[in-house]
Amino acid sequence: MKVIINRTYNKTETRGFLIVMNDDQIVFSCKTIELPDLGNQKNFSCIPAGNYGVSKYISPSKGECFHVLNVPGRDSILIHKGNYAAGKHVDTLGCILPGSRFEDINADGNIDVVESAATMKRLLEILPDNFKLHII
């Protein structure tokens, strides 16, 4: 399986469209939200576009999730449930948050992802323990 995130960038967050492919078939798709692109600054920026290995992981604070490996200059980058990448409440310090769609959940003027827990559960069900992630 191959996982691709196609991103768009703006000042407050990075929005993505994630697809899971098996051969030439799309088997799942969802939205993602991340911090804005601020030059890979730890805790303030999304990670750089590129190719990464990913492994299933159980985080003490985030539960079952995925660990994005070998990110230049960064560590502890996860794909985990969460809704907010901008505003008063932020659920990420550089990680990738999946959801079913974009919406301003808390009416603060920033786009969020919704149904993150259900989307994360589905990703955990369909993805293997190790896979390649291509961020473009």
Domain assignment of residue 55, given as a range: 2-135
Q: Which of these, 71, 13, 15, 18, lies nearest to 47 by C-alpha position?
A: 71
- For the entire predicted model, the pTM comes to 0.97
Each residue of 28-43: pLDDT tens digit? 999 999 999 999 999 9
How many domains, in total, are found in the chain?
Answer: 1
What is the predicted pLDDT for the residue at 4? 98
What is the predicted pLDDT for the residue at 88? 85
Amino acid (1-letter code) at residue 61? S
Span 14-24, average pLDDT: 96
Each residue of 44-92: pLDDT tens digit? 999 999 999 999 999 999 999 999 999 999 999 999 999 999 998 899 9
Q: Which of these, 82, 111, 77, 84, lies nearest to 98 by C-alpha position?
A: 82
Helix (H, G, I), strand (E, B) or coil at 119: helix
Structural tokens at position 102: 């974009």
pLDDT at 95 over 90: yes
